[in-house]
A and B are shown apart, each in its own frame.
Chain A
C-alpha cells in the first residue's frame, strides 16, 4: 500500500510519495498536464491498494460570502446542498460550504448568518485526472484545497503549539507565509476563518533580501487598502500580521517592517496579533520535497499524515471510497470484537472442561478412599435385624411402658366406686369409656348410667340425691367437665314430663346418666 499525495497546480501535477529505497517522502515526478501520455503511463500502474490524496492549488479558487436567514442546525444541510448544487450548475468542479460565526440583523430586523462558499471551476486537467482515478479504481481518499489546508494547519497545529490566545485568533489579521525566496502566500483571516487567499510572486529582478522585503511590504499595503476599499474592513481598522516562514530566518525583520511601515500610529494592537512564528522544528526529517513545490507543502503533508483532516471538497467517487473505508473498518472491528469475544467464550469453555476433569479425578480419589472405608466397615459383624428398626422398637416400647406406668387400666374405677359407696340412693349399672383423643391420650371420655331410688311418686328427693352425687363427683380431682345428660326428671319445661315406670328394672328407681372426662393415669 502506497500513499500518493498529488499536488495539482495550474501547470503541472506533482506526485509525492515515499521513495522506494528509503522511508523519505519525496517528490517522485512532476508531470505537466500537456504530457498526457506520460501521466497516463504513471496512472496505469496504480491499483486499488494505492491511497490517493489530492491537493489542489489553483489561482481561480473563489471564496464567496453569502448572508442567509439564521436557521436551526438541522436545516443547514438543505441550504448547503442548495448552494453546492448552484455552484455545480454554474460550472464548478468542486465546491465547499462553510458556516461562519458572523451574524447580522437586516433592516427588517431579520437575523442572518454568514456562510462561505469555496469553489473551483472546471479545469480540463483536473477533470481528466479525477476520471482517470475513478476508471482505475484508485482509493481517492480526500481532496484538499491548498489554501484551506494551510489555514487548518495554522489553527490546529501552529496556533496550538505557540499557544496563541483565542481572542487574538478571532481578530482580523494577515497570515503571511513565505514559500520560497520570491513567493509568498497572503491570506486574510477574520473570525477564525480564511476570507481571502492570494499567491504573491515577486519579480525575480529583486535580488537582495532588503529589496524583497520592502516589495513585500508594498504588496501588504496594497492588500490592506483593498480590504478597506472593498468594505471588508472599516477604513483604517486594525489588521494584524502573523508571519510564518518555514525556511527563512526573517521573522523579526518582517515584523519590524510591518510595525514601521504598515501599522498606523492610531492602531491599538493590544488584542491584535503581530507575530512571526518559527515552525521549522514542527516538521520531521522524513518529508523533503525540494524546491519545485511551495515551501509549506512538506508541513501540510505531515499534517495530513498525522491528523487526517476531513476531505475539504467532496465528489461522489471520493465519498464512495470513504464509505468503503468506513465499511472496511467496521468489518474489521466486528471481526476483532467477535474474535475476542469468541476466544473468551472458547477459553472459558476449555477452562470449564479442564476443571471438570480435575473435579472428576478428585471425586475418584475420594471414591477410592470411601471404598477402602466401606471394605473395612463390611468386615464388622452385624445383627440380623436392621439397627434402625431396633431403635424404633425399643423407643416405642419405652414410650408405651412409660405412658402406661403401673396401672392396668386407663380409667380409675375405684375412685368412681368410692363416690358411689357414699351415696346409698345411687346405684350404677353401666359404665362406658373411650379414649378422649388419640390412643396415647391421658384422658378418657366416660359415660355412667344408673338408678336413683327409692322413688315413691315424689321427684324432689331423687333429684336432690342425683344432684348431690354429681356435686361430689365433680369434686374428684381426676374428674372434669361432668354433666348430667339424662336427669331423673326432665326439669326443662319445654319437654314433656313423662315417666314410664314399667320400663324400669328397678320398681322404685329413676334412671339418670352422667358424662365426664377422666384423667386415667
Chain B
C-alpha cells in the first residue's frame, strides 16, 4: 500500500533510457528512409545522365569513324566500283554476259541455273573474314558443252574480265563425250567435252549511311 504512494524506482531508472533508445531507433529508421529516397532519386538521375552521355559519345565515335573510314576507303571504293570489282553483281549482268561468252566460245549445249540467295556464312572460308554482316551468296550451276579443255580457262578468264572476279569455283566436272575420246576434232554443232561447274557468287549490300 505504501509503495503505491511513492514513484517506482524502475520508472526512474529505465523510462527515460527506453524512450531515448526508441527515439534513437525511430530517428535512425526515419532518417534512413528519407535519405534513401533522395539517394535513389540521385542515383536514377546519374544513371539517366550517364546513359545520355554514353549515347552521345557513341554517336560522336560513330561519326568520327565514318569520317575516318570514308577518308581511308572512299577513293578505293569508288575505284573498285568503277572497275566492277566490287561484289555488287546482279543476275541480269551475269546472264547477259554469259550468253555472249557462250556465243563466242560456241558452247553447246549451255544451261545456267541460279540457286536462291542466302546470307553468307563466315564458315565457308578457311581464312577470309566477312567484316560486316552485309555479304550474301548465290550458287550458280553451269553446264556447257565445250570444244577443248583450253575453253575452260577461256571461259573463266572472260568471266573475270567482263563480269566480276568476286566468285569462287566450288566444284567442276569435265568429262569427254564417250564417242570423241579417240578422235577429238573441232565441230560447231557438237561438243567434244561436257563441263559442269558450281560457282559461288558473292554479293555485298552496303547499308546506307544514316545519322543515328
Q: Which residues of A contact B (CB under 8 A)?
A: 47-49, 135-139, 320-321, 324-325, 327-328, 331-332, 334-335, 338-339, 342, 345-346, 349-350, 352-353, 356-357, 359-360, 363-364, 366-367, 370-371, 373-374, 377-378, 380, 382-397, 399-401, 403-404, 408-411, 413, 417, 427-435, 437-441, 451, 505-506
Q: 30 A-B residue contacts at CB 8 Å? A: A48-B9, A48-B12, A135-B3, A136-B6, A137-B6, A324-B13, A325-B13, A342-B31, A345-B32, A359-B46, A366-B53, A367-B52, A370-B57, A371-B56, A377-B60, A384-B209, A385-B77, A385-B208, A387-B66, A388-B131, A396-B87, A396-B130, A397-B87, A400-B165, A409-B169, A433-B171, A435-B171, A438-B124, A438-B128, A505-B179
B35 to chain A, nearest CB (A): 5
A431 touches B174 (CB 8 A): yes
A387 touches B181 (CB 8 A): no
Q: Which residues of B contact A339 (CB under 8 A)?
A: 24, 28
Q: Is B94 an interface residue (CB 8 A)?
A: no
Known A324-B10, A359-B46, A363-B46; judge A429-B178 contact (CB<8 A). yes
Known A374-B63, A397-B85, A440-B127; judge A331-B14 contact (CB<8 A). yes
B86 touches A397 (CB 8 A): yes
Q: Which residues of A contact B124 (CB under 8 A)?
A: 438-439
The chain B residue with its CB closest to the CB of A341 is B28
A353 touches B35 (CB 8 A): yes
A399 touches B69 (CB 8 A): no
B17 touches A439 (CB 8 A): no
Cα distance A199–B76 when bound, in Å?
A: 122
Interface size class of B (residues with CB under 8 A): 35 or more
Contact among A137, A346, A373, A451 with B8 in the assembled complex (CB-CB below 8 Å)? A137
Cα distance A430–B3 when bound, in Å?
A: 125
Q: Is B135 an interface residue (CB 8 A)?
A: yes
Q: Which residues of A contact B45 (CB under 8 A)?
A: 356-357, 360
Cα distance A111–B208 when bound, in Å?
A: 106
The chain B residue with its CB closest to the CB of A441 is B126
Q: Is B2 an interface residue (CB 8 A)?
A: yes
Q: Which residues of B contact A (CB under 8 A)?
A: 2-3, 6-14, 17-18, 20-21, 24-25, 27-28, 31-32, 35-36, 38-39, 42-43, 45-46, 49-50, 52-53, 56-57, 59-60, 63-70, 72-74, 76-77, 80, 85-87, 123-132, 134-135, 149, 152-153, 156-157, 159-160, 165-166, 168-176, 178-179, 181-182, 200, 202, 204, 206-211
Cα distance A422–B129 when bound, in Å?
A: 42
Known: A135-B6, A396-B87. 16 other contacts (CB 8 A): A137-B8, A139-B13, A324-B14, A360-B42, A364-B49, A366-B53, A370-B57, A371-B56, A386-B206, A392-B132, A393-B77, A396-B130, A399-B128, A430-B175, A431-B173, A451-B181
Known A332-B20, A377-B64, A451-B181; judge A440-B49 contact (CB<8 A). no
A335 touches B127 (CB 8 A): no
A346 touches B32 (CB 8 A): yes
A503 to chain B, nearest CB (A): 11
The chain A residue with its CB closest to the CB of B154 is A408
Q: Which residues of A contact B43 (CB under 8 A)?
A: 356
B67 to chain A, nearest CB (A): 6
Known A404-B165, A417-B149, A432-B172; judge A392-B130 contact (CB<8 A). yes
Contact among B68, B77, B85, B135 with A401 in the assembled complex (CB-CB below 8 Å)? B85
A448 to chain B, nearest CB (A): 10
Contact among A325, A394, A411 with B77 in the assembled complex (CB-CB below 8 Å)? A394
A426 to chain B, nearest CB (A): 12
Cα distance A363–B51 when bound, in Å?
A: 10
A332 touches B17 (CB 8 A): yes
B17 touches A387 (CB 8 A): no
A389 touches B206 (CB 8 A): yes
Cα distance A401–B202 when bound, in Å?
A: 13
B22 to chain A, nearest CB (A): 9
B131 touches A342 (CB 8 A): no
B156 touches A394 (CB 8 A): no
Cα distance A47–B6 when bound, in Å?
A: 8
